Homo-oligomer: A and B are copies of this chain.
Amino acid sequence: MHRVEFLSLVKNYKVVFLDSYGVLKNHKGLIDGVPETIEHLRSRGTIVKILTNDASRSRQQQVDLFNSLGLNGLTTEHIITSGTLARLFLQDKRIKGKIGYLGTENAADYILHIDRDSVPISAIDLEDCDDIAAFVFLDDEGFDWNIDINKTINLLRMKNIPVVVANSDKLYPVSPRDVAVGTGGIAKLVENILNRKFIHFGKPDSQMFMFAYNQLLSTQDFSKHEILMVGDTLHTDILGGNKFGLDTALVLTGNTIESSVESLVTATGIIPDYICQSITQ
């Protein structure tokens, strides 16, 4: 675990995988200096992929959002979201029937409407739900928590169907002071009540790393030594990167802060190869 400057560290790698929230942006918008860093990497020929636990926006919507914040030049090819992976999984599974979901219509639109019908939990009739063949936790918004969480539990008590969690983050920051329960937190509540395990997508699980790595390999050969995973969260970015066999760098511009980084690393046993102040230095 070495303290280094990111801009000097990154010279040793052909590829960087970057987390989004806490690395590129925060609740106020882009972190100062990020467009310059991305431009710098581009000019050096370093390949950049953004790996984010997010299922609320399509990849194109992510690109548009980065553009509106002032980070230009990204395309959907640069972005891999946990929602993308949930979408591919559901396509692969060739589910016969409708897919119930908890979340926004927008998320349902890009994740589920491929070639089949999807139904929000609020529109499912528990007396007549034989046609529901899978269920997805898409987002923490777009439904009434007072009613729809219990309704989801009762649906899943009745029906033994594949259940997918499209973003496994338990909470996310909404301001410097406040957090909110994320999709993964709601799914965890339901798993805990039902004593069941759903299929989770998102870091630290390997699928997103594998997807990004396979994308790379489809163009040219890369060894894992040539890739640096950069993130602000030990339990997702660093644990996942370590497990996939990548070198990992923790930045201190998000969830993990200078004053507690040493004790957190010791307490969790999740050890980044490098610690950098930010990606802008």
Contact = CB atoms under 8 A, between A and B. Distances in A.
B239 A197 contact: yes
Interface stretch (A18-26, A114-122, A263-271): A263-271
A146 interface: yes
Interface stretch (A3-11, A37-45, A67-75, A154-162): A154-162
B181 A242 contact: no
B177 A269 contact: no
Contact of A178 (B145, B154, B192, B198): B154
B145 A268 contact: no
Given A89-B245, A160-B269, A210-B206, A179 B154 contact: yes
A171 interface: yes
A150 B265 contact: no
Interface of A is mostly: helix
Copies of this protein in the assembly total 4
A92 B270 contact: no
A109 interface: no
The 8 closest A-B pairs by CB, nearest first: A196-B269, A145-B145, A92-B245, A206-B206, A189-B189, A145-B146, A154-B178, A150-B180
Given A150-B178, A153-B180, 14 more contacts: A89-B245, A93-B245, A144-B145, A149-B181, A150-B179, A153-B179, A156-B269, A160-B265, A162-B271, A189-B189, A189-B192, A192-B192, A199-B242, A205-B206
